[in-house]
Chain A
Amino acid sequence: MDLKSFQDQVFVAGAEAGFTEMEVYHERQSSFTCSVYQGQVDGYESADVTGVSFRGVYQGKMGYAFTERIAPDSVGYLIASARDNASIIGDEDEDDIFPGGGQYQEADFYARDLDSVSIEAQIELIKEIEAHARSLDSRVRDINYCAISSLSMERGICNNAGLDQSDARNNITVYLSVVVAEGGETRTGSAIRVTQDFATLKPTEIAAEAVGDALSYLGARQVANKAYPVILKNDAAAALLQTFAPVFSAENVQKGMSQLKGKVGTAVGVPGLNIVDDPFLPGGMNSRTFDAEGYPAARRDIVKDGELQTLLYNRKAARKDGVKSTGHAFKSSYKDAVGIAPSNLYIQPAGLAGAAAGQAAGAGAAGAGAGQGGEVEARQAAVAGQGGEVEARQAAVAGQGGVTGVVGQAGLSSLENRPEPPYAPLLAGIDEGIVITGLSGLHSGANSVSGDFSLAATGFYVENGAVQSPVNQMTVAGNFFEVLSSIVVIGDDLDFTVPFLGAPGYVGSPSLLIKGLSITVD
C-alpha cells in the first residue's frame, strides 16, 4: 500500500485510540555498494528499504512505535504499541509534536547528476583504483578493501496539525584500504572520499593517498613515554570532536551528563576557537532543512572566539530551559527516539580572511599557510562571512587529492610529486612532538561526562620542526575540555570524518597543535 493512505489510516486509528497529537515520519533509502578484489567484483549489494515511525501524545505522554511493513495489518500494531509505550512513561517533562509554522530555508541536497552514474561506471572506477594501488609500490602486499557506495535517502514528516516537510540527499563514497609489508613489518593505510560529484573521484589520487598513508608507517620505532606537544591531524581532531559532541547537548547538560552546565557565555576554549553547526554546509553528509521534530534547521555558532554561545536543543530540552529549539532534534533513523545531535559540526579553519582563503582555494590544502600566524588569522576568520567557509571547504576537498600522512624514507620513486602533509605549517617551531594521524577505540576509551580519553593512536615523531619517523602503536591520553583550552595553533586544512559506529553528526576540523598530551608507545 502507498505511504499516503497508510499515513491516513494511522491518523484515523490513532485518533480513535485517544491520541491527541500525532506524527508519522518515514525514511526511504536506496543504495548500491560494490567491492572489487584482484580485478573482480567480490561484493555487490543493492538495497531499497522504507521504514515508518509513529509518534503521538496519549494522555499527555509521548508514545513511539515503528514498522518496516507498510501494510494495513501494521496500523493496529503501531497504535497499540505506541499507546502502551506512552502509558509507561513516568517522565513529567512536557513533550509535544511540533505543529509547524517555522521559517524553512530553501535548499537542495540532492545531486540529480549522481543518479545518472551507471553501476558499470562505478565498478570501473574501483577496478582502476585497485589496479593503481597494486602497481604503485612493490611493498603493497594486498588490498584489504576497495569499495564504492552510492546512497540516496528521502525523509518526510507529517502530522495531524498540518506540518508536512520532506527532503532528500545523496552521495557517493569511495573507500580504499591497502596492506603494505617490508621486512616483517605490516602496515595498513586508507583513503576515503565522499562526494556529490562523480567526476572529482580520481583513481590515481585515491590510490596514491592510501598507499602513501600505509607506507608512511613503515619503519616505526619507539619513543619515550611522556607528554609531548601534539598535532592532531585534521581527521583525527574531527574524530575527537565527534566523540565528545554529546557534551554540547542541552539534554545531557540538564541530566548532569555534561560538564557544560552554566557555561554558556563563558570561555570553553582558546580565543580564536570557533565551532559551527551548519545544516546547509555544501557537501555536508548531514545536511537538512528540518530536524527530527520537523523544526526548521539553521546555521549556529556553538563556540565563538573561545566562548560557548549556545547548547544544542530540541523542543523538549528547550522548553525546560525556557529557550527556543535550535533545530537539533535528532534520530539516527525512524527506529530511534528523538534525542539531540549536531548536523554538520566543525571547528572553523584558520586563514579564512580575504586573501588567505583565496590562496588556499587556489593552491589546495598543501598551500595552506597557517604557521604561527594561524592564531591571528583564526581570530580574523571569526568575522569572515559564509563565503569564506565555502571556499575553505573547497580547498580542503581539493587538497585531499594529495598524499596525506608523511611519506617514509626510501624507494618511493613510483609515488612522485607528493605534496606536503596538510598539517605541515603546524610543524614549525616544534622542538620535539608527536603527530597523531588516526585514533581508534573511540567507542570505549572516551568518557563524555568527565571529558577524559585514553585512545589508541597512529602517527609520527617530530623533532626540530620536521617529521622524523613513524611511531609504533601509541596511546594518547588527555581531557577534551583541556584540549579545547590548550590549542596553540589552528590549521586551515578543514576535513571531515565519516560517521562511525552509528555516531551521529558529520564532524570536521582543521589540524590542531595541542600544548601537551600523554603519549605511551607500544
Chain B
Amino acid sequence: MISQSLINAVLDTALSTGGDFAEVFVEDRTVNRMGMRGGIIENSLSGRDFGVGIRVFKGLGSAYAYTTDATPEGLHQAARRAASGVRGLPEMPTNATVWGDTTGCRHSLCEERAPSKHLIERNPQFVQRGEKAQVMREAYDIAKNYHSSITQVSVGYMDEEQKVLIANSDGKWIQDVRIRSRLSISSIASDGNKFESGFYGPGAHKGFEFIAGLDLEHYAGEASRIAVTRLSAVPCPSGKFPVVIDNEFGGVIFHEACGHGLEATSVAKGNSVFANRIGEKVASDVVTYIDDGTLENEWGSLAVDDEGEPTRRNVLIQNGVLKGYLIDRFNSRRMNMPPTGSGRRQSYRFAPTSRMTNTYIANGSSTPKEIIENTEQGIYAKYLGGGQVNTATGDYNFAVMEAYLIENGKITTPLKGATLIGNGPKTLQLVDMVGNNLGHGQGMCGSLSGSIPVNVGQPTLRVSEMTVGGTREGA
C-alpha cells in the first residue's frame, strides 16, 4: 500500500509539535451491495473506500486528521494538521502510566500480520454477482411464498473486504484483512388495511461460504412469520410487567442497558452510571456479561482492533459483580488502566474509540420452558428491534418487533406496538432467571466512532419488572 519509509516520515511529521504518540491507519475497502424487491435485482452497487487517518497524542490530548489523498504530500499535510492539534498541550504527567507496545521501537517497525483466526473460504470479491443473486432469489421465494398475506419482500445482500494497515510510533506495523457478509430479509404482510413488517439479517465475519450455507428456510421464513403474526396482533397493554426476552438479538437490551455504559468513552470522564464501580455488585447474581472479539468468524469479531491490539475475551460483569470496562488506547491514559483490544472505528474517517465486539449474557441454568412456565402474567418479547441509551442517566429504550402475552405460564396473544423503557442499572438488578440457550444476533451499532458491526447475544431470560409502553391502558 504505502511504503514503510513514507509511513515513518509521516509519523515523524505527526510528532513534530511535541506529541508523544502517533499512529497511521490506512484503509482500502471494497464493498458490494445488492437489493432485490419483487424478486428482481433493483440495485447493485460496488465501490472502493480508500483513505488514511493519522492520530497524535500528547498527554491527555489527541488530534486526528484524515484524507483520501495518499500521495506523500497529502499524507504529510494531514500529519501536519493533526500535529497542530496537540501543539502547546501539556505533557503527560510523569507519574502516569502510559500503556504502549513493547514489541518494537521507533524506526524499526516490526512487520506483523494479524493472526488468521477467522478463516475465509470464498472471498466474495471473486464470486459472480449471478451466484449472489441466486441466493437472494431463493430467500425471496421462501419469504414470499410463506403466506398469502405477504405482499412485499425485500432482500438485501452485502459483502466487504476491508484491508487495514496500522503503524505507530511504538514500532507497530500490522496488517489485517476483514471480510464480512450479510443477507437481510424484510417481509411485509397486509390484510388489505393494515401493513406489518418482519425482518431477519444474519451476518458473519466470513466469505460467501456463509451466504451459501445459510438456512434460508429458517431466516426468510421467520421474517415472513413475524410480519404475518403481527397482522393479528392486538395493541400492547401499557404498564409494568415481568418480561421474558428471547435469546439471540434479545441481547440488544443489555447492549443498551449496560454495554454502552461500560465503554471507556462514557466511563473515562466519570459520566457513566457504571464509572468507578469495579468490584461492586451492579447486577443480580445470575448476570455474567462478556465482550469477546475473538469468537471465530462472528459478525463482531476482529483479529486485531483498529489500533492493532489483538482482540480478547473481556469479562465485564461476573455473577453480578463489575469486573472491567472496554478501553481504547487514548482513554486508557485518562483511566490509568490498560487497553482491552476494544478500539474500533467505522472507517479511516473516524478516530478509534472503545466499542463493543460480540457482547453477550452467559448461559444460566434455567431452560426457556421453565422461564415461561414460572411466569404467571407477563410479556414475552421474542424478537427485538433496535434500541438507544443515554449513558449518563442509564435510561434506555427499545422496540419489540414480536411480542406476546404470557398468561398462567403460557404464551398466548400476539401484541404489537410495544416499546420497553427502563434504566440500565435498575434493570440489571431485576434479571431473575437466565436460560441455557445462548445465541447471538447481528446488528450495526452507531456511536462516536461511527457505525460498526456487532453481535448482541443472550440466552432466554426474565426481567422481573419492566415498563412496557403500549397503546392499551391499564391492562
Chain A 349-390 interface 0/1 with B at a Cβ cutoff of 8 Å (1 = within): 000000000000000000000000000000000000000000
A518 contacts B467, CB within 8 Å?
Answer: no
Among listed B170-178, B214-222, B284-292, B383-391, interface-contacting one: B383-391
Known: A53-B47, A89-B42, A449-B197. A522 touches B130 (CB 8 A): no
A88 contacts B34, CB within 8 Å?
Answer: yes
Bound CA–CA A447/B198 (angstroms): 11
Known: A65-B47, A454-B471. A259 touches B397 (CB 8 A): no
Q: How many residues of A contact B (CB 8 A)?
A: 76
What's the dominant secondary structure at chain B's contact region? Answer: strand
A91 contacts B41, CB within 8 Å?
Answer: yes
Say if the beta carbon of A105 comes within 8 Å of chain B.
Answer: no
Of B130, B152, B271, the residue contacting A144 (CB under 8 A) is B271
Say if the beta carbon of A68 comes within 8 Å of chain B.
Answer: yes
Query: Which of chain B's residues have a CB closer than 8 A to the CB of A91?
Result: 40-42
Say if the beta carbon of B25 comes within 8 Å of chain A.
Answer: no
Say if the beta carbon of A172 comes within 8 Å of chain B.
Answer: no
Say if the beta carbon of A234 comes within 8 Å of chain B.
Answer: no
A49 contacts B395, CB within 8 Å?
Answer: no
Which A residue's beta carbon lies closest to that of B468? Answer: A520
Of A46, A227, A456, A476, the residue contacting B64 (CB under 8 A) is A46
Known: A47-B66, A188-B393, A255-B37. A475 touches B49 (CB 8 A): no
Say if the beta carbon of A474 comes within 8 Å of chain B.
Answer: yes
Say if the beta carbon of A37 comes within 8 Å of chain B.
Answer: yes
Say if the beta carbon of B418 comes within 8 Å of chain A.
Answer: yes
Residues of chain B in range 378-403 having any CB-CB distance to chain A below 8 Å: 385-388, 390, 392-395, 397-399
Output the least CB separation between A316 and chain B (Å): 10
A255 contacts B152, CB within 8 Å?
Answer: yes
Residues of chain A in range 336-352 having any CB-CB distance to chain B below 8 Å: 336-337
Of A144, A259, A454, A474, the residue contacting B399 (CB under 8 A) is A454
Say if the beta carbon of A77 comes within 8 Å of chain B.
Answer: yes
Bound CA–CA A26/B377 (angstroms): 58
Known: A84-B46, A449-B197, A520-B468. A186 touches B392 (CB 8 A): yes
A454 contacts B388, CB within 8 Å?
Answer: no
Query: Which of chain A's residues have a CB closer than 8 A to the CB of B416?
Result: 452
Say if the beta carbon of B473 comes within 8 Å of chain A.
Answer: yes
Query: Which of chain A's residues have a CB closer than 8 A to the CB of B46?
Result: 64-66, 81-82, 84-85
Of B89, B133, B152, B417, the residue contacting A256 (CB under 8 A) is B152
Q: Which of B63, B151, B474 has the most CB of A within 10 A?
A: B63
Bound CA–CA A226/B471 (angstroms): 8
Say if the beta carbon of B422 comes within 8 Å of chain A.
Answer: yes
Of B43, B188, B419, the residue contacting A441 (CB under 8 A) is B419
Say if the beta carbon of A166 comes within 8 Å of chain B.
Answer: no
Say if the beta carbon of A411 comes within 8 Å of chain B.
Answer: no
Query: Which of chain A's residues have a CB closer than 8 A to the CB of B271?
Result: 142, 144, 179
Bound CA–CA A63/B42 (angstroms): 11
Bound CA–CA A477/B473 (angstroms): 12
A88 contacts B469, CB within 8 Å?
Answer: no
Say if the beta carbon of A455 comes within 8 Å of chain B.
Answer: yes
Chain A 37-58 interface 0/1 with B at a Cβ cutoff of 8 Å (1 = within): 1001111111111110100000
Output the least CB separation between B103 and chain A (Å): 28
Query: Which of chain A's residues have a CB closer than 8 A to the CB of B70?
Result: 69
Of B39, B62, B151, B197, the residue contacting A44 (CB under 8 A) is B62
B40 contacts A90, CB within 8 Å?
Answer: yes
Chain A 130-154 interface 0/1 with B at a Cβ cutoff of 8 Å (1 = within): 0000000000001010000000000
Residues of chain A in range 142-200 having any CB-CB distance to chain B below 8 Å: 142, 144, 179, 186-188
Say if the beta carbon of A67 comes within 8 Å of chain B.
Answer: yes
Query: Which of chain A's residues have a CB closer than 8 A to the CB of B21?
Result: none
B385 contacts A69, CB within 8 Å?
Answer: no
Of B89, B398, B422, the residue contacting A522 (CB under 8 A) is B422
Output the least CB separation between B10 and chain A (Å): 15
Which A residue's beta carbon lies closest to that of B85? Answer: A44
Query: Which of chain B's residues have a CB closer than 8 A to the CB of A335?
Result: 45, 47
Of A46, A88, A256, the residue contacting B130 (CB under 8 A) is A88
Say if the beta carbon of A410 comes within 8 Å of chain B.
Answer: no
Say if the beta carbon of B82 comes within 8 Å of chain A.
Answer: yes
B41 contacts A88, CB within 8 Å?
Answer: yes
Output the least CB separation between A368 and chain B (Å): 30
Residues of chain A in range 468-484 having any CB-CB distance to chain B below 8 Å: 473-478
Of A49, A90, A478, A501, the residue contacting B41 (CB under 8 A) is A90
Query: Which of chain A's residues have a CB closer than 8 A to the CB of B470?
Result: 454, 475, 477, 518, 520
B129 contacts A88, CB within 8 Å?
Answer: yes
Which A residue's beta carbon lies closest to that of B40? Answer: A90
Say if the beta carbon of A464 comes within 8 Å of chain B.
Answer: no
Say if the beta carbon of B69 comes within 8 Å of chain A.
Answer: yes
Of A46, A188, A225, the residue contacting B473 (CB under 8 A) is A225
What's the dominant secondary structure at chain A's contact region? Answer: strand
Say if the beta carbon of A443 comes within 8 Å of chain B.
Answer: yes
Output the least CB separation between B403 and chain A (Å): 11
Query: Which of chain B's residues have a CB closer than 8 A to the CB of A477?
Result: 238, 417, 419, 469-471
Output the least CB separation between B86 and chain A (Å): 7
Q: Which of A63, A74, A475, A501 has the most CB of B within 10 A?
A: A475
B69 contacts A48, CB within 8 Å?
Answer: yes
Output the least CB separation between A122 and chain B (Å): 12
B48 contacts A67, CB within 8 Å?
Answer: yes
A49 contacts B385, CB within 8 Å?
Answer: no
Of A144, A337, A444, the residue contacting B385 (CB under 8 A) is A444
A87 contacts B152, CB within 8 Å?
Answer: no
Output the least CB separation between B443 and chain A (Å): 10
Residues of chain B in range 298-335 having any CB-CB distance to chain A below 8 Å: none
Output the least CB separation between A91 and chain B (Å): 5
Say if the beta carbon of B421 comes within 8 Å of chain A.
Answer: yes
B390 contacts A225, CB within 8 Å?
Answer: no
B423 contacts A522, CB within 8 Å?
Answer: yes
Say if the beta carbon of A486 comes within 8 Å of chain B.
Answer: no
7 pairs, A vs B, C-beta closer than 8 Å: A68-B48, A69-B50, A70-B68, A142-B269, A449-B196, A473-B421, A475-B470
Other than A51-B68, A85-B129, give 5 A-B pairs with Cβ distance below 8 A. A44-B85, A45-B85, A81-B47, A225-B474, A518-B469
Interface residues of B (CB under 8 A from A): 34, 37-51, 60-70, 77-78, 81-82, 84-86, 89-90, 129-130, 133, 151-152, 188, 190, 194-197, 236, 238-239, 269-271, 273, 349, 351, 385-388, 390, 392-395, 397-399, 416-419, 421-423, 446, 467-471, 473-474
